[in-house]
Amino acid sequence: MVDRVNEPANEPMREYFPPTSLDLCTTNFRGKYWVRRAGVLLLACLLLAAVPAGGYQTPLDVTAVHDAFVLGQRNDQSTGDFLAPYIKEMNESRSDLHVAEIEILTPFAQVVDDSRKNTAGYTEQQAAQKYQQVGNTILVNVTLMLPAVYPQAANNNGKDTSKDAGASDNKQNSMAASDSAAGNPPSGSATSSDPAVSKPTPGNTEKAETANAEKAADTAQAKSDLRPENFWQSFQFYFKQNGKNVPSKALHDKAIYSTATKDKPAVLDGAAVWIEFDAKDVASQDTVIEVTTPDGKTISATFDLKKLR
């Protein structure tokens, strides 16, 4: 007798049904869905990579140097929009010497700035070489302007003299009133019957104001001509994070001159002071740049390095 225990049981035969058009459409739809989803995830990853994760980028890889170089070479509205948060114009009260601008440049912004200044014949290889030479540094540029550029401020040395002028006029009017009450005209003044007395006219007043403004400008220009190029050494510069000053690595300056004309030669208008810091000493956080003027005034600008690249 044959043992059939190990033999498989008889199974019914499975029928083959070819896929319908509905099945094919469903499979195709699912494939396209996953492809679209993968594309969205890839795009999100690229966008996250383009935004600095919690601070400015250092060191720069090859892709970052390429992006910075291309952005600088465009030198258009997008370039200006990118660099706008890196510079702040100062609107402090008028003084003899003006802190006009305070600028901070991260390593990425430095490559962009160099590229936009050298659009003719400047190559990406040159940009990469310069970055390697400079290294990972933070640059601060403080632009100082002399009073010749602001003649109105030089006229009163930054002081509001309207109160003093008003007090002087009131004093003179009081003296004139007391003299008139005593029947005596003020000393050194003419009487109303004197034919030499003439009433001021609007035209004469405008001419007098114009003459005073021109005189103030000439005086300011004379001060500028006599001021040495190292006038900026009378200023003090501070780079502060968490209330502590970060030591600088190097300091450079460049004199700013006006454009010479046929009538006037180029004169000293101000100076640009560049202060260099090691990036490893600078954290990605709020940074305060302070400038103390020779007369003791403090001008400051705050930059959030977490939001800069």
**pLDDT tens digits, one per residue of 237-266:** 999 999 999 999 999 999 999 999 999 999
Q: Which amino acid is at 76?
A: D
If asked whether residues 69 and 138 sit together in one domain, one would say: yes
Q: Are 86 and 38 in a shared domain?
A: no
First-to-last C-alpha distance (Å) of the chain: 88
Overall number of domains in the chain:
2
Is pLDDT at 19 greater than 50 in this prediction? Answer: yes
Per residue in 144-156, pLDDT (tens digit) is 998 776 554 444 4
Domain-embedded: residue 282: yes
Inside any domain, residue 184: no
How far apart, in whole angstroms, are the C-alpha atoms of residue 64 and residue 51? 11
147 and 67 together in one domain: yes
Strand-pairing partners, residue 252, are 274
Same domain, residue pair 147 and 231: yes
Assess if residue 292 is contained within a domain: yes
Q: Average pLDDT in the 285-294 region?
A: 96
Sequence-separated (6 or more) residues with CB below 8 Å from residue 79: 71, 72, 112, 116
Indicate whether 209 belongs to any domain. Answer: no
Which residue type sits at 15?
Answer: E
User: Which range marks the domain in which residue 112 is found?
Assistant: 62-151+227-307
Same domain, 76 and 26: no
CA distance 45 to 43: 5
Asked if the structure places residue 167 within a domain, the reply is no
Whole-angstrom Cα distance, residue 73 to residue 194? 74
Report the pLDDT value the prediction gives residue 147, as an integer from 0 to 100. 78
Q: Is residue 191 part of a domain?
A: no
CA distances from 159 to 91, 93, 235, 291, 293 (A): 15, 9, 20, 20, 15
